[in-house]
Amino acid sequence: MAFMEISVVPVGTASTGVSRYVAEVIKTVEGLGLQYTLHDMGTTVTGEASQLWAAARLLHESPFANGAKRVYTVVKMDDRRDRDVKPGEKTESVKALL
């Protein structure tokens, strides 16, 4: 299981607000059937690494399809193959030590 944190930022728009574009990105994630968590600075998506890389490309394209002229995307991937990891497990591991 892999985790991808992605932040897709439409830059070339007529407004400083980007909620409309982010909503379309999330609809794209939902259409792929991948588990995700939306947070204030991006979205964490869970799945197989190959699925996540393919999803990143689609998510990056979403604002262009909705009229953006420029898109800035940041992707971080954690692909652990020695055991299965569930969403929230990493956070709980740290909290247990606090």
**What does the domain layout of the chain look like in residue ranges?**
2-96
Task: Tell me the C-alpha distance between 6 and 3, whole Å.
Answer: 10
Residue identified by tokens 């020695």 is 82
Question: What mean pLDDT do residues 27-36 have?
Answer: 96
CA 39 to chain centre: 10
Mean pLDDT for all residues in the chain = 93
For the CA atoms of 22, 23, 28, 30, what is the dihedral angle to 10 degrees? 120
pTM: 0.88
Domain 2-96 has CATH 3.30.450.20: no
Q: Band of the pLDDT at 15, cuts 50, 70, 90?
A: confident
Q: At what angle do helices 49-65 and 19-32 cross, to 10 degrees?
A: 140
| CA distances from residue 68 to 33, 41, 45, 75, 82 in whole angstroms, order as listed | 25, 19, 23, 19, 40
Give the DSSP letter string of 12-45.
SSSSS--HHHHHHHHHHHHHHT-EEEEETTEEEE
Judged by average pLDDT, the poorest of 7-21, 36-50, 60-74 is 7-21
